[in-house]
Structure 1
Amino acid sequence: MEKKETFVLVHAAWLGGWQWDATARLLTGNGHKVFAPDLPGHGSDATPAAAIVMEHYVAAITTLLDSLDEPVILVGHSFNGITVSRVAELRPEKVRKLVFLTAFLLPQGASFLSAVQGVEGSSAVDHFYLSEDKTYAFVSEQEMHHAFAHDIPREAFDQAKAYIVPEPAAPLTYQLEVSDAVFGAIPKFYIECTEDHAIPLSVQRAMYTGKVKRSYLLNASHTPNFSQPEKLAAVLLDIASVQ
């Protein structure tokens, strides 16, 4: 009988746990347990952006993991590949597998801002800016659809746009703290998205090559949870079955 897993799905910057709704339904429909929390300042969490640092994101996930009896498959999307990496370093006994969905898989000491320096071919990086007081980060509104979700209709994206929030800036400067002995020992999987206009495919591959147990390919934008939830769920189910 197939073992039932617990998935913790961590959303991307600017979004919230709601981004996983369709994928979560498919996973729970297969008998798995799913948690898709809102990080501070995202979704239904109204913490002011100026008050948020990376430690708050990490604490939100470690607190959830501490409340669970079983180790989980921990999935990080985009920027929050950094968050789940730090969580895995702090709670290795709680993480059975670590999954990066077109996400930042960075080495010790790297940050989001250092990782995107010199990146070419990214609509998100090219149109990224901070608020005047440096507390929020944005991608220009006219570019967001093209950068993140060009493979869903503009009308559908415009409906979702009401739930997109300004991204707290401080976590973007956080320098990742992980070790080969702990983080390095956790089985990792990477889901690359070939049509990603935010993290180009070449950048994805440079980050994960030689670091993962298995990689998967989706011919999708940066947000396959919107455009291809069935295919994304199928990949996650396959990862769950890997011994």
Structure 2
Amino acid sequence: MKKSILILLSAVISNSQTALSAEEGEKTPLKPQTYVLVHGAWQAPYVWDAVNSALTKKGNKVIVVELPAHGTDNTPTHTLSLDVYRDKVIEAIAKVEGKIILAGHSMGGMVITHVAEKVPAKISKLVYIGAFLPTTGQALTDLAFSDPDSKLGPLLAPSPDQLTLDVVRENLTNLFIADGTPADKERVLTNYRPEPAIPFTSKVTLTSENFGAVEKIYIKTLQDIVISPKLQDRMIDDAGIKTVYEINTSHSPFLAKPNELSALLLKIGE
């Protein structure tokens, strides 16, 4: 009798293990993604540090682009245009095998849009993070000037040669990272550089065959006073974007809530 019970238990355990193995086999491991991250105006690659770390810890590859005349790059500002920014990103992704997830913040939204029109087959998804999203024929200035709720305009100070734009320093952190820690704000101040002005007026030409064929996602920044939520909604509607996420931060979610932003990017990459 005891022997029969032992045989029965052994069979049950064996069957259970087989079932578990089958279930595990049905779960396809998530394929690592390549994320290409493009910063916005008055910023530089450092803003992505925490997000970069979170994405790579999950096995993904991350490429952080330093736009010309930002960060440590000393490209003369009079030589810049949106085309130059676009080509810098294309150069960064040219050697990547397969498709990428291309994410842009603020002015970086103009850049990734321009990239997608040029190399749509290289991009699986475009992710706009509190970013400018133009329609064909628009420049960043067209969108910015149409945003009465933005607090940025009155705080801009053009250089005498009109090649760069400064932000009034005492308002800098309130504009970009009002909800950040003192350390976050200090990083923004320490890394600040005047912004090249010419690319702001570069218009994009977009087609349905190229830019229109790439899947787009928007992450709204709900406390944003640089690109207001109302303008974000209008750009989302104009682009016909169906997948929209929200993050309750200022203009700089990668500094204010990097873990939440990283979680959204990982979800987008599933």
Of 176, 201, 209, the match for 1:173:
201
Cα drift, residue 35 of structure 1: 0.4
Contact 1:146 1:197 in 2 (8 A): no
Q: Distance in 1 between matches of 2:244 and 2:108?
A: 18
Per-residue Cα deviation, 1:36-55 (whole angstroms, up to 9, x for no partner): 01110011211122221222
Of 127, 130, 139, the match for 2:167:
139
Equivalent position of 1:116 in the other structure? 144
Is the counterpart of residue 230 in structure 1 residue 259 in structure 2?
Answer: yes
Give SS of 1:164's match.
coil
Equivalent position of 2:181 in the other structure? 153
For the pair shown, the structure with the greater C-alpha radius of gyration is: 2
Bigger mean CA deviation after superposition, 82-91 or 116-125:
116-125
Per-residue Cα deviation, 1:191-230 (whole angstroms, up to 9, x for no partner): 0011011111111111012522400000000001001000
Cα-Cα RMSD: 1.2
Cα drift, residue 154 of structure 1: 4.1
Per-residue Cα deviation, 1:43-72 (whole angstroms, up to 9, x for no partner): 121112222122211110111121211210
Cα drift, residue 121 of structure 1: 2.2
Number of matched pairs: 241
Q: Distance in 1 between matches of 2:246 and 2:44?
A: 24
Q: Distance in 1 between matches of 2:139 and 2:96?
A: 29
Give SS of 2:269's match.
helix
TM-score by length of structure 1 reads: 0.95
Of 65, 73, 79, the match for 2:107:
79
Q: Mark the runs of 5 or more structure 1 residues left unpaired by the alignment.
A: none
Is the counterpart of residue 48 in structure 1 residue 76 in structure 2?
Answer: yes
The residue type equivalent to 1:107 in the other structure is: T
Of 196, 199, 218, the match for 2:224:
196
Cα drift, residue 161 of structure 1: 1.3
Equivalent position of 2:233 in the other structure? 205
Q: Mark the runs of 5 or more structure 2 residues left unpaired by the alignment.
A: 1-28
Per-residue Cα deviation, 1:125-169 (whole angstroms, up to 9, x for no partner): 231231110000122111111111000134531233121211111
Contact 1:123 1:146 in 2 (8 A): no
Equivalent position of 2:65 in the other structure? 37
Identity across the alignment (%): 32
Q: Distance in 2 between matches of 1:88 and 1:159?
A: 31
Contact 1:41 1:47 in 2 (8 A): yes
Equivalent position of 1:220 in the other structure? 249
Contact 2:173 2:188 in 1 (8 A): no
Equivalent position of 2:22 in the other structure? none
Q: Distance in 2 between matches of 1:177 and 1:118?
A: 19
1:99-114 aligned at under 5 Å gives the runs: 99-114=127-142
Contact 2:173 2:189 in 1 (8 A): no
Q: Distance in 2 between matches of 1:156 and 1:214?
A: 29
Give SS of 1:42's match.
coil
Q: Distance in 2 between matches of 1:68 and 1:38?
A: 17
Contact 1:40 1:46 in 2 (8 A): yes
TM-score by length of structure 2 reads: 0.86
The residue type equivalent to 1:82 in the other structure is: M
Q: Distance in 1 between matches of 2:199 and 2:68?
A: 11
Task: Give the structure with the larger helix fraction.
Answer: 2
